């Protein structure tokens, strides 16, 4: 066991002890702890801004891009937003203790499945220091202990935010080790986290593709994440052209850098208005990479190569293919999709239901823009991430996704014959 | 990629294709497929019994114990029971398509979480050839494709049962690759299964501790299983002595070899009748290994060693400790338990609720015998196993545990502002 593994084992043991203490806490205590943490964040403004100034100085010295520096920066207004977000999480309903189902057996035993926290959650993230507060708040609201590992470029900011959060939590008597921050910026600490099975119950990576890929590859602990959002919109033969154009343009162009953005458009060969649809995308500023049938529709299109069907552009580019029907659309999605969000546009309800049943995606939409793929838009409150895995939680994951259940059996002395 | 990995990749790809076809099947088709499979099992009696006779011959030659030979043996009556079990699974309600929850957003979007199959399930099991039929039936009922890997000693029986099942499934037009059997008995094939992430969604090991331990250690795919059932019964100070004795004796002695058997008894120091409780266990034929306080109660007790607290006896032996209260009981369970089934016996409801909230076990019981830890007793119908993991499914796992969900979003042309 190397030094990082030893440190992680100690952090994990402290986290498990804290989790055990949290399991005796009431919902009100957890909410109060977060409200107190938000107050501490506001009271620690000068300390947090000074810490952030150090990170910004180091970032400039190390040649961070303007975009990265902007993500890193905290001013009074952004700190207020961070504190408010913590207060909003405090106000969300606590999923813990909710009874999922209940049966009474002929022998009088009452079986209930009751929501309980997942346990110890590891969050690995990059750049934005607000994640330190957000992720800790979501974890604590749902009764979990959390181990945070932020990016090295934000270490001073993360330490200051973490210190304030812990101070708040401690004022209401909850364990300070409920929220721990990995203090070293050594990358080996991440490796130690990924192997800490038995201590960490789930790892949630938040950051770029290379981070998520590394975590999914190396982790011995379950991972909740998505790597790609290669999202398809299938325009059926009976699609309403006005809806089809509005949805396709919005799904691609509203924000091109989000994981819910459309990357591939599949147009049914019997859809009556493919030309205007391609034109609308081009006129919205989108590069259209099409197959032969699509290229015949508009001279401004370019030819799609094989790799285009497997590319998440996150840019104003879309790959477009003409398909022979819903079977071919679904086969394309099965081969090239990433199980994130896929959409069917049609006025034919039977076709929509067929697509909904057969598309193996975390989110399947009918007549709506894939850009709605977001916990807030789903009414879940704050989201910890979107999962394309099949197990545990799928699609947008919020507080409920940070819980599991236990079986509670109430008897009156029953023994098994 | 070695030969076994190549074979497993091909099986996995065929399974995924079959899973995709299954996702278009109706509940009735899946039930009909299982009914047909049961008929085929009955019609193939002579073939299956002949295959089993070969396994029995080989088993005798290879010196299998009488107990193992008995587990391996299939006669007409047992085959009928196997077929009936498949029919019973066909009659269970299909969890697929059930709407878990539904919300309508202010913009008119309707969000539903709908149950869908997990995908491709790998089952690794030993000895009993009935698992070939049972596991395949549970997987198919819930819309999953399955890859079965049975013990080498039952290979002929498994092949014959598998052949009959597939023949039945094919008669109703469902894909024959929905149920695949690993044909080689080479152990490397198990290694290839455990690494088949992206092709197999979950592995369920059914067998002895060494099998489960190997699977949990090596798997790169999520595993649903329990390794140990180190189950505790805590007798609170306000326990009813008659209930305490009946529950403790039943939890330990009804069947000592099941995973729900009690292994450790924790008696509150203020419980008024510890002597009669120990006497009842001894008189039921149980060896009592106690701490000093327990040993003072009865001269027939022996001294518990440190390792006793971490031992799953699966035998008429119990470790017994006197504890200072519920905190000490919970601390002992947190340190030595295996998150399977833990029980509190008390007439004090507040204490029971405290224990229920704080014990981190898949199943927590109040005033009942831990031997009720079984999917049938929970009213779930057939069970695929009991899980002590925290993610996905906990405790007894039946059809619903073989499903996940997808988000279905129904709109009328909404785009995101």
* Residue B23: φ, ψ to 5°: -70, -15
Statement to judge: residues A165 and A253 lie in one domain: no
Q: Does B390 touch chain A (CB under 8 A)?
A: yes
Two structure tokens written together for A133: 């507060």
Would you call A15 an interface residue with chain B, using a CB distance cutoff of 8 Å? no
B415 within some domain: no
Of chain A, the percentage scoring pLDDT greater than 70 comes to: 100
Structure tokens at B209: 């501790």
Based on the domain organization, do A235 and A211 belong to the same domain? no
pLDDT of A101 over the 90 cut: yes
Q: Which candidate in A15, A142, A375, A408 is best for mutational testing of the B interface (most B CBs within 10 A)?
A: A408
Interchain proximity A394–B406, CB inside 8 Å = yes
Within-domain flag for A286: yes
Range in A193-197, A247-251, B278-282 the model is least confident about: A193-197
* Same domain, residue pair B213 and B237: no
**Whether pLDDT at A222 is above 80:** yes
* Distance in angstroms (rounded) separating the CA atoms of residues A270 and A258: 31
Residue appearing with tokens 């203790």 = A97
The conformation of residue B93, written as its DSSP 8-state character, comes to: P
Its ipTM equals 0.94
pLDDT digits (tens, 9 = 90+) for B385-417: 999 999 989 999 999 999 999 999 999 999 999
Q: How far apart, in whole angstroms, are the C-alpha atoms of residue B282 and residue B284?
A: 5
Q: What is the mean pLDDT of residues A214-220?
A: 91
Closest among A192, A231, A170 to A21, alpha carbons compared: A170
Q: How far apart are CA B360 and CA A152, in angstroms?
A: 35
Identify whether residues B257 and B161 lie together within a single domain. no
Instruction: Report whether A79 contacts A130 (CB < 8 A).
Output: no
- CATH code: domain of residue A182: 3.40.605.10
Chain B interface includes A231 (CB < 8 A): no
pTM listed for this prediction: 0.94
Residues of B in contact with A378 (CB under 8 A): 103, 105, 111, 407
Contact (Cβ atoms closer than 8 angstroms) between residue A229 and residue A310: no
Indicate whether A266 and A288 sit together in one domain.
yes
With respect to residue B257, please indicate whether it lies within any of the assigned structural domains.
Answer: yes
Query: A interface mutation test: which of B407, B412, B417 has the most A CBs within 10 A?
Result: B407
Share of residues in chain B with pLDDT > 70 (%): 100
Mean pLDDT of A3-23: 95
Q: How many domains does chain A have?
A: 2
Pairwise CB contact (< 8 Å): B367 & A412: yes
At residue A232 the predicted structure's pLDDT band, cuts being 50, 70 and 90, is: very high
pLDDT the model gives residue A190: 94
Report in angstroms the alpha-carbon separations of B98 from A31, A316, A343, B102, B396: 33, 38, 21, 11, 20
Of the candidates A201, A405, A415, the beta carbon closest to that of B250 is on A415
Residue B352 and residue B301 share a domain: yes
B30 CA: distance to closest CA in chain A (Å): 15
Distance in angstroms (rounded) separating the CA atoms of residues A38 and B303: 53
A262 shares a domain with A367: yes
CATH classification at residue B281:
3.40.309.10
Residue A401 to residue A386: CA distance in whole angstroms: 10
CA angle A333, A334, A338 (to 5 degrees): 75
End-to-end CA distance of chain B: 49
pLDDT value for B174: 97
Q: Which two tokens stand for residue B279?
A: 């006497």
Q: With respect to residue A242, please indicate whether it lies within any of the assigned structural domains.
A: yes
Answer yes or no: are the C-beta atoms of B145 and B123 closer than 8 Å.
no
Distance from CA of B59 to the nearest CA of A (A): 34
Q: Is residue A15 very low, low, confident or very high in pLDDT (cuts 50, 70, 90)?
A: very high
**CB contact set of A312 (below 8 Å; sequence gap of 6+):** A228, A229, A230, A263, A338
Tell me the pairing of strands B179-181 and B385-387: unpaired
Please check whether residue B374 is in contact with residue B396, taking contact to mean a CB–CB distance below 8 angstroms: yes
According to the model, what pLDDT value does residue A198 have? 87
| β-strands A110-117, A99-104 pairing | antiparallel
Residues of B in contact with A404 (CB under 8 A): 390-392, 394
For residues A121 and B273, what is the distance between their CA atoms, to the nearest angstrom? 43
pLDDT at B409: 97
Together in a domain, B270 and B310 = yes
Nearest-neighbour CA in chain A from B284: distance (Å): 15
Q: B165 CA to chain A: closest CA distance, Å?
A: 25
Distance of CA A45 to the CA centre of its chain: 28
- For residue B406, the SS3 value is strand
- The answer to whether the beta carbons of residues A340 and A310 sit under 8 Å apart is no
Question: Is some CB atom of chain B closer than 8 A to the CB atom of A99?
Answer: no
Q: What is the pLDDT of residues B2-34, one digit of tens each?
A: 899 999 999 999 999 999 999 989 999 999 999
pLDDT of residue A207: 87
Interchain CB contact of A101 with B (< 8 Å): no
Please tell me whether residues B98 and B153 are part of one structural domain.
Answer: yes
- In a domain, residue A388? The reply is no
Mark whether B9 and B124 lie in a shared domain.
yes
Residue of A269, A259, A278, A365 whose CA lies nearest to A320: A278
pLDDT at position B381: 84
A347-400: pLDDT as tens digits: 999 999 999 999 999 999 999 999 999 999 999 988 899 999 999 899 999 999
> Is the pLDDT assigned to residue B127 strictly greater than 80?
no
Interface test with B, best of A194, A368, A401 (most B CBs within 10 A): A368
According to DSSP, the β-strands at B110-117 and B395-397 are unpaired
User: If you average pLDDT over residues B268-279, what whole number do you get?
Assistant: 98
Mean pLDDT taken over chain A: 96
Distance, CA of B90 to CA of B85 (rounded, Å) = 9
Short-list B252, B238, B250, B380, CA closest to B319: B252
Residue-wise DSSP of B164-205: HHHHHHHHTT--GGGEEE-----THHHHHHHT-BTTBSEEEE
Token pair 């801004």 in the structure block, residue: A49
* B350 touching A (Cβ < 8 Å): no
The CA distance from B221 to the nearest CA of chain A, in Å, is: 9
Tell me the pLDDT tens digit for each residue of A127-145.
789 999 999 999 999 999 9
- A contact test, residue of B390, B396, B400 with most A CBs within 10 A: B390
> Does A82 have pLDDT greater than 80?
yes
Assess if residue A383 is contained within a domain: no
DSSP class per residue in A327-364: HHHHHHHHHH--SSEEEEE-S-HHHHHHHHHH---SEE
- For residue B222, the chain A residues in CB contact (below 8 A) are 222, 391
Whether residue A234 contacts residue A274, with contact meaning beta carbons closer than 8 Å, is answered with: no
Q: For residue B355, what are its two tokens?
A: 């224990």
**Dihedral in degrees, nearest 10, Cα atoms B79, B83, B86, B87:** -150
- Residue that has been written with the tokens 């979950």 in this structure: B202
Do the beta carbons of residue A378 and residue B189 sit within 8 Å? Answer: no
* Minimal CA separation from A63 to chain B, in Å: 35
Query: In degrees rounded to 5, what are phi and psi of residue B226?
Result: -130, 140
pLDDT at A140: 97
Backbone region of residue B103 per phi and psi (left: phi > 0; alpha: psi in -120 to 50; beta: other values)? beta
How would you label B106-119 residue by residue, b for 16+ Cβ within 10 Å and e otherwise? Answer: eeebebbbbbbbbb
Residues A171 and A270 in one domain: no
Q: Helices A349-358 and A326-336: crossing angle, nearest 10°?
A: 30
Does a structural domain hold residue A390? no
Residues B90, B171: contact at Cβ < 8 Å?
no
Range of the domain at A236: 231-377
Compute the radius of gyration of chain B from its Cα atoms: 24
- CB contact under 8 Å between B369 and A404, yes or no, is no
Contact between chains at A410 and B366 (C-beta distance less than 8 A): yes
pLDDT tens per residue across span B54-89: 999 999 999 999 999 999 999 999 999 999 999 999
Cα A286 versus chain centre, distance: 27
What are the φ and ψ backbone dihedral angles of B386, each rounded to 5 degrees? -120, 135
A408 at B interface, C-beta within 8 A = yes
- N residues, chain A: 417
Are B220 and B261 found together in one domain? no
Share of chain B above pLDDT 90, in %: 94
B-contacting residues of A 169-208, CB under 8 Å?
201-202
Residues sharing a CB contact under 8 Å with residue B353, sequence separation 6 or more, in sequence order? none
For residue A189, being part of any structural domain is answered with: yes
B181 phi-psi bin (left φ>0, alpha ψ -120 to 50, beta other): beta
d(CA A257, CA A313): 8
């Amino acid at each position: 066991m190397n030094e990082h593994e030893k440190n992680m084992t100690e952090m994990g043991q402290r986290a498990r002890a804290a989790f055990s203490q949290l399991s005796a806490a009431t919902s009100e205590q957890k909410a109060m702890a977060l409200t107190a943490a938000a107050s501490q964040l506001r009271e620690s403004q000068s300390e947090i801004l000074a810490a952030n100034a150090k990170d910004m100085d180091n970032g400039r010295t190390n040649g961070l891009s303007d975009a990265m520096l902007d993500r890193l920066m905290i001013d009074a207004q952004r700190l207020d937003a961070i504190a408010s977000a913590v207060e909003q999480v405090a106000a969300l309903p606590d999923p813990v203790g909710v009874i999922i189902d209940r049966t009474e057996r002929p022998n009088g035993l009452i079986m209930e499945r009751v929501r309980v926290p997942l346990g110890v959650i590891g969050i690995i993230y990059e750049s934005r220091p607000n994640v330190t507060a957000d992720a800790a708040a979501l974890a604590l609201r749902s009764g979990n202990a959390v181990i945070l590992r932020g990016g090295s470029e934000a270490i001073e900011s993360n330490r200051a935010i973490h210190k304030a959060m812990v101070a708040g939590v401690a004022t209401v008597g909850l364990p300070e080790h409920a929220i721990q921050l990995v203090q070293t910026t050594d990358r080996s600490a991440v490796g130690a986290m990924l192997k800490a099975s038995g201590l960490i119950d789930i790892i949630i990576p938040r950051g770029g593709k290379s981070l998520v890929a590394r975590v999914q590859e190396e982790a011995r602990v379950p991972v909740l994440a998505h790597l790609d959002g290669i999202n398809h919109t299938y325009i059926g033969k009976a699609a309403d052209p006005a809806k089809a154009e509005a949805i396709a343009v919005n799904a691609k162009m509203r924000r091109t850098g989000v994981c819910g953005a459309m990357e591939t458009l599949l147009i049914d060969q019997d859809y009556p208005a493919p030309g205007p649809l391609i034109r609308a995308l081009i006129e919205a500023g989108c590069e259209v990479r099409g197959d032969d049938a699509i290229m015949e529709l508009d001279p401004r299109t370019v030819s799609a190569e094989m790799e285009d069907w497997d590319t998440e552009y996150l840019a104003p580019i879309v790959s477009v293919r003409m398909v022979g029907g819903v079977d071919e659309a679904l086969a394309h999605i099965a081969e090239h999709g990433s199980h994130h969000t896929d959409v069917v546009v049609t006025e034919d309800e039977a076709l929509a239901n067929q697509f909904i049943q057969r598309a193996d995606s975390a989110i399947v939409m009918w007549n709506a823009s894939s850009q709605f793929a977001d916990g807030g838009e789903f009414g879940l409150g704050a989201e910890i991430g979107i999962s394309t895995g099949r197990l545990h939680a799928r699609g947008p994951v919020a507080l409920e996704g940070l819980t599991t259940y236990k079986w509670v059996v109430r008897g009156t002395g029953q023994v098994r014959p």
